[in-house]
Structure 1
Amino acid sequence: MNRQTSRVARSARQVLAVCAAVVLTALVAVGYLVIEEWTEPGSEPDAVHAGELTELLARVQVADELPMAGYSREEFPHWEPNRPEYGFGDEFAQYARCTTREVMLLRDAVGSVRLDPKTCDLSVGSTGGWQDEYGTLDRQTGALNPYKWMTDSSGVDAEHIVPLAEAWRSGAAELDEDTRRRIANDATNLVASDPSANRSKGDQDAANYLPPGKFRCTYLDRYLRVKVTFGLTVDPAEQTALRTAVAACGDPTGLG
């Protein structure tokens, strides 16, 4: 190889190196953008429209609550092996050995969280965890506290949007065990939450508790869908509160 050919070869290698560096930088930038958009706390993939909520509310029957006599959580068999009827969808069908709690944790996870379909062990990577959507209020100021970020799956609550006790009072006391099983394991009725937020809710219905943050309208949508799907009722106070909350979803300034 003569000197001129050697210089041309070196120049070509330098140009290729520069191009590769530019391409790599662009790919990394795009990658970070995708991750930032995917993991933005409190982001909602689909807007909930007040009109849809109004239609759902109109489909729920109004009735006085049933007594709590005979209630226990065991009346609602929960954390059953995942089945298609629970509504998690085809992408989670491979986790048939895992419980609905474990599948819900995978579905609601952010970042590098994996569920082994054979052992049902959850593994959380350096970017993985769960972002609470409910939120809690500061007891002194009434302001919304920062949303909690959780990285330990054992410290995440599997929250029933329609609490099991509320379902019992709303008609589940008169339903068969298989229907109560579906209420307890239903994908729409389950969400990962901060235990503190979950405790502040307890078994209260929508007349006494709604998430204080921006998850409220999605919460209302899922709350009403569970009530409609399983033929559960609302009492008059609950209906009034739901009407007010649904109307606020049509006005973002009313969400607090």
Structure 2
Amino acid sequence: MRLRSVLLSLLLVPLAGCELLDLVESAGDDAAVAPAPTLEPAEARSALDALRTVDRRPRVPAYDREAFGPAWRDVDRNGCNQRDDVLLRDAVPGTVVVQVQRSCPHDVIAGTWTDPYHGTRLEFDDLKDQRQAQAIQIDHVVPLAEAWVSGAHAWSAERRSRFANDLPSLVAADGPTNASKGSQDPAGWRPKAAFQCAYATRWIDVKQRWDLAVDTSEARALASMLDTCPTPSPA
């Protein structure tokens, strides 16, 4: 796998040989990109019970995508935009190929990913090709439009921008799957059964960290998905 990555990089990246090899050797090391937080199912249940509740269709101003600022802002100031940070973090270890682009040391150009909602294997050899780039998208676990009605409409522009680019709230996902999810919450859309536990815990984590509310139907769907989580083995 490492040799294939090096050969692929030699075709795709016009860098000097030594520099390129150093870059590919370090491409699998995502130490500079913080991992996504996870809650244990029991923690997620407690967090869900503690979330504020709102009406299913609260009376708030009309959703405005521009209120969240442009995508993908480099909020952590590591030189790379959040798309590249997520692609690097979520790639199957040992498969990602990067290049240095301006201030970004890990501009991702190829690799393999597993869609977190359906388990589809996604392999790309040139993410500078628009068709390939559209086939893997960066998804807001809690969609911006859903966050808006859950409390973000009252935030400052800066807080909305930070939420829209919050690394732990983002995942690399299959393009068509992301499109089918759209702005729906768990009451309207669910991933495959095998991925519902992870989806619910991440959704709840985002809402807890950003103090976003849930409605009754949403909370019921989340509780149902938490029921799919494995039962801990007795000590």
Q: TM-score, normalised by structure 2?
A: 0.70
C-alpha displacement of 1:119? 5.1
Q: Which residue matches 1:10?
A: none
Q: Which residue matches 1:33?
A: none
Contact 1:49–1:249 (CA<8 Å) still a contact in 2?
no
C-alpha displacement of 1:227? 0.7
**The residue matched to 1:248 in structure 2 has which SS?**
coil
Q: Which residue matches 2:162?
A: 182
Contact 1:49–1:250 (CA<8 Å) still a contact in 2?
no
Q: CA RMSD in A?
A: 2.5
Contact 1:57–1:224 (CA<8 Å) still a contact in 2?
yes
2:89 pairs with 107, 117, 138, which one?
A: 107
Query: Structure 2 stretches of 5 or more lacking a match?
Result: 1-35, 128-132
The 2-side partners of 1:115 and 1:77 are apart by: 27
C-alpha displacement of 1:67? 4.2
**The residue matched to 1:158 in structure 2 has which SS?**
strand
Partner amino acid, structure 2, of 1:123: I
Q: Which residue matches 1:131?
A: 114
Contact 1:97–1:117 (CA<8 Å) still a contact in 2?
no
Query: Structure 1 stretches of 5 or more lacking a match?
Result: 1-44, 85-92, 136-145
The 1-side partners of 2:187 and 2:99 are apart by: 36
The 1-side partners of 2:167 and 2:58 are apart by: 25
C-alpha displacement of 1:48? 5.7
Contact 1:150–1:156 (CA<8 Å) still a contact in 2?
no
2:45 pairs with 30, 41, 54, which one?
A: 54
Q: Identical aligned pairs, as a percentage?
A: 35
Q: Which residue matches 2:65?
A: 73
Contact 1:159–1:191 (CA<8 Å) still a contact in 2?
yes
Aligned pair count reads: 185
The C-alpha deviation readout for 1:202-232, integer Å capped at 9, x for no partner, is: 1001111121143322221221111111111
**The residue matched to 2:201 in structure 1 has which SS?**
helix
Q: Which has the higher helix share?
A: 1
Write out aligned runs for 1:15-94 (5 A): 49-64=40-55, 65-67=57-59, 69-84=61-76
* Greater C-alpha radius of gyration: 1
The 1-side partners of 2:40 and 2:211 are apart by: 22
The 2-side partners of 1:150 and 1:216 are apart by: 23
Q: Which residue matches 2:100?
A: 116
Is 1:150 equivalent to 2:136 in the alignment? no
Contact 1:160–1:191 (CA<8 Å) still a contact in 2?
yes
Contact 1:66–1:168 (CA<8 Å) still a contact in 2?
no
The 2-side partners of 1:201 and 1:250 are apart by: 25
C-alpha displacement of 1:99? 1.1
C-alpha displacement of 1:150? 3.0
Partner amino acid, structure 2, of 1:130: W
The C-alpha deviation readout for 1:14-66, integer Å capped at 9, x for no partner, is: xxxxxxxxxxxxxxxxxxxxxxxxxxxxxxx9986321211121221111143
